[in-house]
Amino acid sequence: MVLVIPGGTGARNAARAKGCRTRGFRLERAPHMARERTLSIIKPDAVEKNHTGAIVARLEQEGFLVCAMKRIHLTRPQAEGFYAEHKGRGFFDELCTFMSRGPIVVMALEREGAVAKYREVIGATDPAKADANTVRKLYGANVGENAVHGSDKVETAIREIGYFFAGYEVAPAAH
């Protein structure tokens, strides 16, 4: 029979120290899921309403590690650079104006399955359609002012984190 304990040797020793019976069991390490990073932006609307602390606390409660964080005020050209993939779309001008109107908080977050979990925690783009207790449902007003931005895939997260943080600004990966 196999008893799986996450965390490997340290967890095994802790289990033994706590008096866990292992006779007749073979202790094995649980399979390790891939740790990922994602970019989080707390947008000007949420910063203006002083929701930064509540949003960061929620993300930490959901198991995210904040690897880097800073509060900045984007210029219009910086906002246009970040959202360049949306240039030519109807909402581009309004989005860039909004994102450069006041301070934002950018974070590089890490956890297992970070991109998908972050998208789950923040909810649908339209707060009216977001699930109960998601960040956007709690703190967003509408599609344009929806409190937070999140990377949509791992490849995007790598590019987005690099846009805001130099490599030395991001804490080493947790193991």
CB 123 within 8 A of CB 135: yes
Q: Which token pair is 5?
A: 């304990």
Supply the DSSP symbol for 86.
G
47 contacts 105 by C-beta, under 8 angstroms: yes
For residue 26, the SS3 value is: strand
**HSE-CB of 32 using CA atoms within 13 angstroms:** 9
What is the rounded CA–CA span in Å between residue 161 and residue 156? 8
Of the residues 32, 86, 149, 175, only one is catalytic, namely 149
Question: Quick check: is 149 catalytic?
Answer: yes
Integer Rg of the chain from CA: 20
Residue 3 vs residues 6, 16, 19, 22, 155: alpha-carbon distances, Å: 10, 12, 14, 8, 36
Alpha carbons within 13 A on the beta-carbon side of 159:
11
- Residues with a catalytic annotation lie at 149
